[in-house]
Structure 1
């Protein structure tokens, strides 16, 4: 029997974390509506996700879809030096998906009847009975529960914690994908069964294979990467974040919009710094894009009958590959708290909040340390187990 058969919920943000929350709330009996600010279906820019247990739990436990149809896998972690020699290699199985592949699978499970595009939430209020979300379109919607999963630029975060502001890390991430089939046989052989790192002074890159738009097989896979490069805060970063249209980005510059001179310099630097296989991937990326790597953490995630989850509550550098897993974990633990505190939504949220705040604090501290070691102190040791992926700790 549903725990909340007559209750309603609004989820603000229709990405992976928001959809996971919406699906779990619907399973509890809530009538759920999702409001997504983007006017068209999301595409994720082709980026990759390292899958962790919380991320895939919906498909492992609740969905009729086969998780094996959504991911690629590798069996090793390896580090290369400038001439392509493997300087460290260890057995470690990881699975990966593309953002678009995973999003579309979640959306297919939720459906589109109650998924509303083009609605930008700008504020909320609440009383003893309902919470009301206001949208820039002039629309408003009310429900028994509201979950904000609206990402790193969340419009709601300031109401939870006025002091929670983005803090720039001191470096950006160059991101991109290349069709595995477009690479030379030698490069495919080096990269195909490993997540690959290449460390250089004050920088590093990591890459791995993800599903392509047309499938998981070798012929359609993409090699996805993130290259961390230091850029001082101030005029240099500001200039870099002006796109080809003359608009300034705060968190990213989309594919095809990064100024050509920066792309040219990026390709040239990759050819000079990296192992041949790694350099080949970067140099052959048609439309690389930029992500500004910043941290933010709200000291509150629950206000009455309104919750803040995922990057909206805590966004951190991706070194632990745990951002998507954290959003999913927030959703699963919220659903558990609601199930255990039937009928009293504010009490359930108050019960849920402390452990998730502690988890976000632990994750943020760990990835900041990882970034410092790779980008500034040059103390990233490939054999150090503390540098492994994981939401709850290295390898966990």
Structure 2
């Protein structure tokens, strides 16, 4: 008689939002979970980092994982509207001390997203999990699938001591990001595609100076901020901004530049004083003074280099599965990266719950079949939207010229609402 195993074990490599979301769904599916993360400690909620736009489906999923669902509302702000605008020419920015208003190209008043800070969302999810499932300061080195395909052995190095440890599980979940080492194991010739531009990012913190003139002016220039995602377009560039909780404004400015030489395994690039000085000069040349002032008064702006890849044809190998940016490096123009990762986690958990350990192969095959069509459509659509907004060469039309665009034209591609599968995601069950 074969002894029945009490719980299957999943090893998740990567403790960012994709990884800890999978931890939630796999625990709910009855799995034992171990999370390996190379960072030595959990994030502490620093003021820099990314603002996130969470779609309605992601909001429902997140609330289903929280013991107090109302906390998501406390840690996020409504983005009820998405507004795409043409920024006026710099020479017309100021007339009698007042900024000339931008022309609105599209306005979605039923956007229904919510804005959060990456660190806040991570903290919400992390605090709901047992602390003993995390192995902090563990760097993934290699994997080995057993001959009978029933287990996978992971080698990792303890960063602090240099000790090499081995961990065996029934399933390996690769949530190790855009530069995934696990993906590279199966696709050794894989290369990311540089988009042709990078993003200056920053979070302007006005929590202790709400009456600052800069804050009053940005609220006057962008009167719906606090409930609207603004997207301003200029020639060969665009910038977005929205408010996130705790009196902060998140902004991202996309700049056409040759591919930077990154020195570390990171999509973010450290900047020096000369680079920041150039940023301040350029922002004055292009954007309205109220917005330029917010950028110039943001502490510690940084560069996020924008990559994606052609959609993968496979995201499962035996008992190894890719999720999040490991499965679909994506440009940020349709707010897909985090939202796709959350849905990856949900679908994976439901497939495992449906099929159980006795048929892990079918569970992972269903996960792959459900996610690949969505990944394919959303990655390529986001790439296309980015090329339009940055004035890049397009195969099916002339380059987009904001100065020649009129408000009577239809620009459905510029709206996040029109992302493929946004409201019609292939489902495992009817819970979503």
Question: Where on the TM-score scale, by shorter chain, does this alignment land: which range?
Answer: 0.7 to 0.9
Q: What TM-score do the two structures reach when normalised by structure 1?
A: 0.88
Give the Cα separation in 1 of the matches to 2:419 and 2:219. Answer: 32
1:81-120 mapped onto 2 (5 Å cutoff): 81-82=87-88, 83=93, 84-88=100-104, 90=107, 91=109, 92-120=111-139
1:332-371 mapped onto 2 (5 Å cutoff): 332-342=346-356, 343-371=358-386
Q: What TM-score do the two structures reach when normalised by structure 2?
A: 0.81
- Which runs of no fewer than 5 residues in structure 1 stay unpaired? 213-220, 242-246
Give the Cα separation in 2 of the matches to 1:132 and 1:117. Answer: 18
1:215 aligns to what? none
Matched, 1:331 2:345: yes
1:252-331 mapped onto 2 (5 Å cutoff): 252-253=268-269, 257-296=270-309, 297-331=311-345
Q: Which has the larger radius of gyration?
A: 2
> Per-residue CA shift, 1:182-224, capped at 9, x if unaligned?
5331212333242222211110000000123xxxxxxxx2100
Q: CA offset at residue 372 of structure 1?
A: 1.2
Q: 1:188 to 1:394 in 2, by over 3 A?
A: farther
Q: CA offset at residue 108 of structure 1?
A: 0.5
Instruction: Tell me the SS of whatever aligns to 1:272.
Output: helix
Instruction: Tell me the SS of whatever aligns to 2:188.
Output: coil
Q: 1:248 to 1:336 in 2, by over 3 A?
A: closer
Deviating more after overlay: 359-368 vs 385-394: 385-394
Count of residues in Structure 1 that have an aligned counterpart in Structure 2: 372
Deviating more after overlay: 129-138 vs 53-62: 53-62
1:51-200 mapped onto 2 (5 Å cutoff): 51-65=54-68, 66=70, 67-78=72-83, 79=85, 81-82=87-88, 83=93, 84-88=100-104, 90=107, 91=109, 92-127=111-146, 128=148, 129-137=150-158, 138-180=164-206, 181=210, 182=212, 183-191=214-222, 192=225, 193-200=227-234
Matched, 1:385 2:412: yes
Q: 1:58 to 1:355 in 2, by over 3 A?
A: closer
> Per-residue CA shift, 1:271-330, capped at 9, x if unaligned?
111022221211111210001101124332111111111101111110010100111111
2:49 aligns to what? 46
Q: CA offset at residue 40 of structure 1?
A: 2.1
Give the Cα separation in 1 of the matches to 2:190 and 2:60. Answer: 30
> Per-residue CA shift, 1:134-166, capped at 9, x if unaligned?
113411111111111010111101233333311
| 8 A contact 2:381–2:419 mirrored in 1 | no
2:17 aligns to what? 16
| 8 A contact 2:56–2:112 mirrored in 1 | no
1:203 aligns to what? 237
Deviating more after overlay: 347-356 vs 13-22: 347-356
- Which runs of no fewer than 5 residues in structure 2 stay unpaired? 94-99, 159-163, 393-398, 424-432
Q: 1:299 to 1:268 in 2, by over 3 A?
A: same
Give the Cα separation in 2 of the matches to 1:228 and 1:368. Answer: 13
Give the Cα separation in 1 of the matches to 2:349 and 2:320. Answer: 13
Give the Cα separation in 2 of the matches to 1:159 and 1:53. Answer: 35
Give the Cα separation in 2 of the matches to 1:52 and 1:160. Answer: 32
Give the CA RMSD over aligned residues.
2.2
